[in-house]
Amino acid sequence: MSDIPAEHKDEIPRPSSQLAGLNRLNDLDQLNQVVGLVSPVFGFLPNVR
């Protein structure tokens, strides 16, 4: 990040925040998988993408 002008450094997401976003996306994917598995049991319709 040293090559980025100081006035623009705050606009670039930090790697830690990018990884946190990926972790949340992974959590949502796991939730979607679980819902897909249990939805027939409860009579829910599958999520249409």
User: Taking the model in full, what pTM does it have?
Assistant: 0.49
> CA 15 to CA 32: how far, in whole Å?
26
* pLDDT value, residue 18: 87
Q: Consecutive sets of 10 residues in the chain, 49 residues long: mean pLDDT of each?
A: 80 88 89 82 63
Direct distance between the N- and C-terminal alpha carbons of the chain, in angstroms, rounded to an integer: 37
**Half-sphere exposure for 14 (CA within 13 Å, toward CB):** 4
On whether the CB atoms of residues 5 and 17 are closer than 8 A, the answer is: no
